[in-house]
Amino acid sequence: MTLDLVLVCPGCRTRTPERLDVKTLERSGDLLVCECGRQYPIVDEVPIVFADPAEYLRGEITTIVERDLSPAVAALLVAAGPDDAPYPRLLEHLSIYLDAQWGDRAEPRAEGPGFALEAVIARLAALPHVGAAVELGCSVGRILAELATRAEHVVGVDLQFGALRRARRLLDGERIAFGRRITGRHYAAAEIQAGDRTVPAARRQIVCGDALDPPLIPALYDRVVALNVIDSIARPRQLLAVLDGLCAPGGELILTSPFAWQSAVMHEHERFGGADPAADLAVILTTGDGLGARYQIEDAAELPWTLRRDARSALSYRTHYLRARKT
């Protein structure tokens, strides 16, 4: 499976009640090009593929053109604030998710909560081998690395380019330095190396794109994963339809969510399930409500999920894990 077989042009994709028409993208230097004339940039070997790339680039250009500065220099640059400027927000995001996903391979280890994926990884390790797996919301790439131990080819999609740049480097086997947040805009240096969780470029693709409109060929993936994305996206029901569309016949969905709904993220009418969204999610999948198929629930559990914010605070969740087979 090669790049031109994986990524499609979202700008000229058309859908009718009878069919979905897509055009695959071809690489030309540092661009992906479509026969329709649209072009998409590749930065640091990460394609940026959106239906409207200009709109994305206007809001995220800081994370795209930022350099991999030493933690000491990066901390100095953000010391004067404000907290909500793009670069301080990026450093905070990286501090949280690099420790959450790779904290077991970080030096030094974080004090207090760090690595958050132990329970999920244990479940993934017990799954059978498949041909292709995709993760929407892959962030800094640890679950992609784990999926690659049980799949021939993996694809990861995320909106946060700064996270994907680190994911690419880690999966390539590079040792990366990052700033671990101590408090406020104060950071201490730490390093991570993936070790035995590297994934050769020939077996994986990382793409910066929209999880609600991913530039991927539908019905191609035997394992479709979205961890803690349902409550972090504007339209969770649309996300479920996208996941269903990517899932091959007989394939499986793997979802987790603490269902920590926030009005700043989605409208009230987008939430589902009332006081028990986990039960409603199972109903949506088993009945195929709004989906193209029905699913059989094969595993469900409540798992811990803790995100270290800084040396004095962490967010602790009970996230619902669900694995379902497409029937």
Alpha-carbon gap, residue 116 to 142, rounded angstroms = 11
Return the biggest CA–CA distance within the chain: 56
For residue 4, pLDDT over 80 is answered with: no
Query: Are 199 and 206 within 8 A, CB to CB?
Result: no
For residue 256, pLDDT over 60 is answered with: yes
Distance set, CA 170 to CA 5, 63, 124, 205 (Å): 24, 18, 20, 13
Question: Does the global pTM surpass 0.85?
Answer: yes
**Strands of 214-269, DSSP E:** 221-227, 247-257
| Rounded percentage of the chain residues whose pLDDT exceeds 70 | 98
What DSSP state is assigned to residue 277? H
In this structure, CATH architecture of domain 3-326:
3-Layer(aba) Sandwich (3.40)
Pull the structure tokens for residue 85: 């400027």
Residue ranges of the domains in the chain?
Answer: 3-326
For residue 243, pLDDT over 90 is answered with: yes
For residue 322, pLDDT over 80 is answered with: yes
pLDDT, one tens digit per residue, over 31-51 is 999 999 999 999 999 999 999
Query: Are 140 and 94 within 8 A, CB to CB?
Result: yes
Residue 252 confidence (pLDDT): 98
Q: Which residue has the tokens 């959450």?
A: 100
Strand partners, 181: 187
Alpha-carbon gap, residue 213 to 206, rounded angstroms = 15
Q: Which residues contact 233 (CB under 8 A, 6 or more apart)?
A: 211, 212, 239, 265, 266
Q: Which residues contact 24 (CB under 8 A, 6 or more apart)?
A: 4, 5, 7, 8, 9, 217
